Structure formats: structure tokens, C-alpha cells
Amino acid sequence: MNQSIKNICFDLITPICLILIAVFLRPALPSFEIAQTSVFENLPYVLLGISLLISWKFNQLDSFYLSIMLCVVYAATLQINLSGHNSNEFSYELYIAAISILFPLNFIIFKAWQVESTISASGIFRILLISGQSYGVFWSVQNHYAPLLDIFKFHILPDSMPLFESIPQIGIMLFILAALTQIGFIAVKQKPLDSTLLGALIAVFAACYSANEAFVFLSFFSAAAIMLVVATMQASYNMAFIDTLTGLPSRRAMETELNKLGRCYTIAMLDIDHFKKLNDTYGHDVGDQVLRMVATHIRRVGGGGRPARYGGEEFAVIFPSRSIIDAIPFLEVVRENIANASFALRDKDRPKKIPKTRSTRKKPANKVSVTISIGVAEKNRAHKLPAEVMKLADNALYKAKKKGRNCLCK
């Protein structure tokens, strides 16, 4: 299975598990005591407050604004008695219709229109948009403004094709569109936060569908809030421990990994040959492309190797519980794959649009052969500390450079 597909599947585990837990808890929830119910009702506020603080601190704006929307949605649902809504049918229907339509609509708008900070013009506009919508719905409920409910419950599909009774057709379509939009972001950007946001979107949809059951609604909403907390913490972790250019673990993550090594391990240092010359000749944009290409090959190292970007054009691979003899074949595969992969440079006059016919396409004017040198060392009686083994691997890398590059030394 492709590594990117594995990452996407792994990132979806948390939201899927939380949604399944909410589903399996459904029969047991009505048996909660009154005191437990009060705690359970306030749980989403606590979780969303944590999400707001963390996302604001680390500038995770998708999670920040989604937390605000969920706070507004949850506060709105507490204005009606979900377990006995028949006494105020109009308020119930308008609140649920507004949530099921405005939440996915805002979700789509916010994903399409990214902001740089909460104090930017577009960031303030988001707050004003949420506030304006909230006030409009609240005013409509207070004044029993039926035309708004008629708009929300407008039937696009024939009445003979009902999908869900509790969610308007427009809301269902917007939820589907929002989910497809989020799946597109997951496929392109492959960020853990996007996978969890998709889970939160599904949980809110399930909450709207089960809104007439108070405890079920609370369980799905709590699941969505937990997802946001997990996603924000995961995004914050990635900022500290994942290299943004290559997607590999950073030097800080590698240093943390070194503290966990046992009695036997091997460390390899890898460096791109003539990288400074390549950078000076073709520019930093090409240099970044080369770094990403090399990182892609290093990420595929076998033998249980754990790669990281050490800094600049230098990478490291840690082989826990492996001797140097066991690790070398896997490193050689990486070195050979990089050497055999020709890197095509993009022409400056390359057209932005792809030509319709193959004959009109230009072949790349330049191709660059990229190679790496590798130094490898293992823990021994004279060198027991990870820092000492890394120093040995760095010395072996220097030997590989002197030897002519595109080789491995130990």
C-alpha cells in the first residue's frame, strides 16, 4: 500500500473510533443519573474551550473557527428541550435546520477562503459572519419568523424521495459537498488535521440526525469536540517535530528518538552531493524540489529505519536493534534509487497550462543527476552514547565525500 494512503487511513482512525463509541453508547446513555447528565452537558464546552486555547496559541485557524462554530451550535441546541421538543416545534425545527445548513456552508466557505491570522480582515470577517448568522437565527426564533424556516426546508428533490426527516434536503446536500471538499484536501495535502475535521463534520451530521434524542446528541457532539482537541494537539506536535519542507521528522524529533534506543542500534548520516553548487546554479526553488525528492526516497528505507531531516541537505536514519551489517543493504538501496532517478528541471518559459496535444509539449531542457553520500556507524563498547555514534557516522560521511561521493562508508 502507498505510504500516503497508509498515513491517511491512520489519521482517520481516531475520528472513526470516536464516532463508533458514540454509536455503541447510544442504548446506555438514557440510564445516566441527573448529576452525570449535568456533567455530560457541560463536557462539550470544556473540550471546545481547550480546543480554542490550543488552536489560538499555535495559530491552527481551521480548528479555531470550527471550535467557535461548534460552541455557537451547541449553545443554540441548549435553548430548546431536545427530549421534549413538541412543546416548541417551530424553535426546534428552525434551530436544527439552521445548524444542518449553516454549519456545512461555513465549513466550505472557510476551507475555500483561508486566512493568515485571527486579526486579519478575513479573520474578522469570519467572526462577523458567524455572529450575524447566529443573531439572524435567534431573532427568527424569538419572532417566530416562519419564512426563514420555509427557505431552509425548501425541497429540491421530489417529496416522494425523502432522505432524512430531521435534516432538510439543502442541509444534506451541503454536508455531502463539505465532506467531498474535505476529502479533496485530505488527498492533496495529507494533513492529520484535515482527516480529523472530516470526522468532526460527520459527527455533527450524526448529531443533527439524532437531535430529538438529547443524550445521543450530546454523545456525538462530545465526540466532535474531542476530535478537535486531538486534531489541534496533533497539528501542534507536527509544527514542533515534523519538517515542513520534506514531511520527515525534524532534528528535534530525532533527538527524542535517540533517547529511546536500546543496547543495539545503527545510525546513518546522509548528505546530498554538491548541493550548494546546485543551489547556486539553479536557485533555491530547485534546491527545495531536490530536497523533497531525496526525502521521498529516504522515507522508503527498509529494515525498520527511522529517517529524519537533520538540517540543510543532511539527513539521518536510525536503525533500532540492528547491526551495521544488517543496515547497510537497506541504505545502499536508497543510495542507488536516488542515483538512478533523474531530476528534471522546469524551464522558466514553461507554459502554465498543459498543452492539449503531446506533440506541442516541450521536453525538459535540463536534467540533473542527484546523488548522496552515506556514513554509517553502530554502537560499540568504545562508543555507547548516541551522540558518540552519530559523531562516528559523521566521520564516515566525511570519508565517503573524500572517496568520491555517491558511496557508503563505515
Which residues, at least 6 apart from 73, have a Cβ–Cβ distance to it below 8 Å? 99, 103, 204
Query: Pick from 16, 45, 3, 59: which is nearest to 235 by CA?
Result: 59
Q: What is the DSSP string of 31-74?
A: G--HHHHHHHHHHHHHHHHHHHHHHHHTT-HHHHHHHHHHHHHH
Cβ proximity of 55 and 61 under 8 Å: yes
Pairwise CA distance, residues 316 & 375, whole Å: 10
- Catalytic annotation, pick one of 41, 255, 313, 336: 313
Active site residue 336: no
- Element containing residue 1 per DSSP (H, E): none
- Element containing residue 367 per DSSP (H, E): strand 367-369
Measured CA to CA in angstroms, residue 384 lies from 136, 261, 399 at distances of 68, 11, 22
The x, y and z cell numbers of residue 190, run together, are: 495529507
- Return the amino acid letter for 269: M
Helix runs in 309-364, H state only? 324-340
395 C-beta neighbours (distance < 10 Å), count: 13
Active site residues: 313
